[in-house]
Amino acid sequence: MRRWLAAVTFICCSLVAGEALTEYQGPNYIKLKALLPPAPEAQACYARTYDAEHLQQHPKQKVTELVFSLRYVTLGEDEAVIVATEGGGTEKQYFRYDFTLAAKTKEHDRTLHASGDCASAEGIGCGVECDGGGIEIEPMAGDKDSILMRFSESGYIRMTLGCGDEESAVELKPGEDDKVFKLAKAPAAICTALEAKLGNRF
């Protein structure tokens, strides 16, 4: 199942002395909604190709190109997910935020891909299901057209060389010069082509 509820991985319910905390710890999506306001087919596309001068100045940087797609997806009754509410109950949520990430590195001849869901509370986290790690993103202060991307606390993100090619999975990890990436808004067609290549359907 491609769907992965980021809230479960990034914002887990805690247990103390065998009893569940009553404090609400679910995602609020405020920061995600600010970055990409909810609307049918809403999408944000960010990308960066590092030029030869940058890579020469950072010889230990492994990543040479990144494309990040964020999409707001509406869900039908059968697809809706159950989430916690502030009152301690649950309710159905009829949307999710999906991401697709492509990366080119010096270590691989082919492009690496990852996809999953995003959620937000104190920050915005995007993760790959089945303990596949993830990334964190944040709008860049003073620059509404750029975001910063870094690895999540897991310290890696599992990527593959193509859709369903789990046997080729590799863990992309931060290196000495691969810790924070600045991406700029890119034409939607770049991300749409990426999603089509992977066979994603929204």
Banded pLDDT at 3 (limits 50, 70, 90): very low
Q: Between 164 and 13, whose confidence is greater?
A: 164
**107 to each of 34, 66, 171, 172, how far by Cα in Å?**
35, 14, 12, 10
Average pLDDT over residues 141-152: 94
Separation of alpha carbons 125 and 79, rounded Å: 21
pLDDT value at 12 more than 50: no
Distance, in Å, from the CA atom of 134 to the CA atom of 150, rounded to the nearest integer, reads 9
Rounded distance, CA 201 to CA 198, Å?
9
- Helix, strand, coil % in the chain, rounded to nearest 5: 15, 40, 45
Question: Which bin fits 57, alpha (ψ -120 to 50), beta or left (φ > 0)?
Answer: alpha
Tokens of 201: 């359907």
Is residue 8 predicted with pLDDT exceeding 70?
no
**Residue 202's pLDDT band (cuts 50, 70, 90):** very low
- Report the pLDDT averaged over residues 33-45: 94
pLDDT tens string 159-182: 998 655 566 789 999 888 899 999
The pTM for the full model equals: 0.83
Residues 6+ apart with CB under 8 A from 53: none
